[in-house]
Amino acid sequence: MTHHPDGVIPRHPDGSKNRLVRSRRIAATILLVLGTILWIAFGFGIWAKRQALDTDNWVDTSGQLLENENIRTTLGYFVVDELYNSKAAEQRLEQVLPPELSRLAGPASAGLKEIARRNAPRLLGTAAALKAWEEANRKAHETVLAIVDGDAGEKAVTLDLGDLFKEVASGTGLPVAAVDKIPPNISNLQLASADEIGQARDWLDLFQTIVWVLLGLALACFAGAVGLARDRRRMVLNVGGCMMFAGIALVAIRSVSGKQLENALADAPNAHAIAGDVWSISTSLLVDAAQGSFLFGLFVVLGAWLAGQGRRATSTRRFSAHSLRNHAGAVWAGLGVLILLLVIWGPVPWTQRPITVLIFIVLAVAWLAWIRRRTLEEFPDEPPPRLRWPWRAAEPAA
């Protein structure tokens, strides 16, 4: 160690600059992590918004639930049990059987119940039953939205299963009038009371705002990280990687939550048997959000990589320099064709929505204009490329 006469170690002339660079790097990293967390939260928010506040999505999901064999079987057992618990079957047999055999109505009803339980899943799979189920869910959800918007006052939200019960009753030999003997709280299932809906209204209004706040904060964090980074291209590449990571994280959290739900319902055999299927179908839109995040992040990563100084990226730009300079129209047309193919393919929801497709088009056009200008500045006199793979390193000049 070097000792100085005055006992003071002199400050390195670049020490303050190094600390500033280090501070900017730490701040950029923090913003990148925070942006990723907010982006994941936005993914959950957009899933919940589309699932809970969109009637068509709600009805589609309810239809998928009934089309699932395990769920349909469990629901069929429930419907048959309620129908036969109403004594309608036993009374019907007492009317049909001779007086001397009326005592057999009870045992015969139990036997018919078992036959009905076997047939109920098939009956619930018919188009008529599916339509009744979807209409019941549509009416219930429209009531919820009307209450949230303040157009329906304060009232309970119920799921009217009467038509569904009638389909099963008629298909198992019971009179349709048997449905009238089922307790009202069963055939007209209450989903939420008026007080609960009133309390949830303000939360739902706030939720719709929070979703977009999360998006704005996430984008602000990513933009801040890029602005603070010394190598902005690399930070943009990191942002794309974080979006891809967020997509994977959404799927992982969905899987873990499904397992937790199944474990929590372990003491309820019927619910436990279908918990996994219900969760999988109910969160299918979350998978769409995850795939959308991953795909968009992949585009960001590819765009940032092609602008880099790596051997393959540089070789790709050199290979395309002649076309970008002399066939600009064809290049722009090619971009348009690729975007149209992406929209036609529609792998994720944002490729099917006009506003998000428009945003993507603007970003893609801006990126191509920038990469074209940079490539022409970097390779102003590049000759037409030979037929070789663009990512192979260029051969040294003779």
- Exposure pattern of 139-174 as b/e (b: 16+ CB <10 Å)? bbbebbbebbeeeeeeeebbbbbbbbbbbbbebbeb
DSSP code of residue 182: S
Q: Whole-angstrom Cα distance, residue 242 to residue 35?
A: 8
Q: What mean pLDDT comes out for the span 68-88? A: 81
Would you place residue 303 in the very low, low, confident or very high pLDDT band (cuts 50, 70, 90)? very high
Q: Point out the least confidently predicted range of 79-83, 214-218, 307-311.
A: 79-83
In the chain, what percentage of residues exceed pLDDT 90? Answer: 53
Q: Which amino acid is at 374?
A: R
Would you place residue 356 in the very low, low, confident or very high pLDDT band (cuts 50, 70, 90)? very high
* pTM attached to this predicted model: 0.82
Q: What mean pLDDT comes out for the span 18-24? A: 89
Q: What mean pLDDT comes out for the span 109-134? A: 83
Q: With 90 as the cut, is the pLDDT of residue 16 above it?
A: no
DSSP code of residue 102: G
Q: Whole-angstrom Cα distance, residue 278 to residue 280?
A: 6
Query: Quick one: pLDDT at residue 130?
Result: 92
Q: Point out the least confidently predicted range of 54-63, 111-120, 178-187.
A: 178-187
Query: Quick one: pLDDT at residue 102?
Result: 46
Query: Quick one: pLDDT at residue 389?
Result: 53
- The string of pLDDT tens digits covering residues 26-64 is 999 999 999 999 999 999 999 988 988 899 999 999 999
Share the mean pLDDT of the chain. 84
Q: Whole-angstrom Cα distance, residue 72 to residue 53?
A: 25
Query: Quick one: pLDDT at residue 105?
Result: 46
Would you place residue 101 in the very low, low, confident or very high pLDDT band (cuts 50, 70, 90)? very low
- The string of pLDDT tens digits covering residues 279-299 is 999 999 999 999 999 999 999
Query: Quick one: pLDDT at residue 7?
Result: 45
Query: Quick one: pLDDT at residue 9?
Result: 45
In this structure, how many other beta carbons lie within 10 angstroms of the beta carbon of residue 4? 8
Question: Where is pLDDT greater, at 137 or 151?
Answer: 137
Q: With 50 as the cut, is the pLDDT of residue 300 above it?
A: yes
Strongest mean pLDDT among 160-174, 187-201, 241-255, 372-386: 241-255
Q: What mean pLDDT comes out for the span 331-355? A: 95
Question: Where is pLDDT greater, at 121 or 113?
Answer: 121
Q: Whole-angstrom Cα distance, residue 124 to residue 246?
A: 38
Q: What mean pLDDT comes out for the span 111-139? A: 86
Question: Where is pLDDT greater, at 91 or 309?
Answer: 309
Would you place residue 398 in the very low, low, confident or very high pLDDT band (cuts 50, 70, 90)? very low
Q: What mean pLDDT comes out for the span 95-112? A: 50
Q: Whole-angstrom Cα distance, residue 196 to residue 155?
A: 10
Question: Where is pLDDT greater, at 222 or 176?
Answer: 222
* Nearest one of 56, 74, 274 to 145, comparing CA atoms: 56
Q: Whole-angstrom Cα distance, residue 42 to residue 45?
A: 5
Query: Quick one: pLDDT at residue 299?
Result: 97
Q: Point out the least confidently predicted range of 26-35, 208-217, 263-272, 338-347.
A: 263-272
Q: Point out the least confidently predicted range of 22-31, 141-150, 373-382.
A: 141-150
Place of tokens 């200008």: 373
Q: What mean pLDDT comes out for the span 324-330? A: 94
Q: Whole-angstrom Cα distance, residue 307 to residue 328?
A: 18
Q: Point out the least confidently predicted range of 32-41, 134-143, 178-187, 270-279.
A: 178-187
Query: Quick one: pLDDT at residue 78?
Result: 85
Q: With 90 as the cut, is the pLDDT of residue 169 above it?
A: no
Q: Which amino acid is at 135?
A: E
Q: What mean pLDDT comes out for the span 241-253? A: 97
Q: With 60 as the cut, is the pLDDT of residue 393 above it?
A: no
Residues with Cβ within 8 Å of residue 347, at least 6 apart in sequence: 291, 295
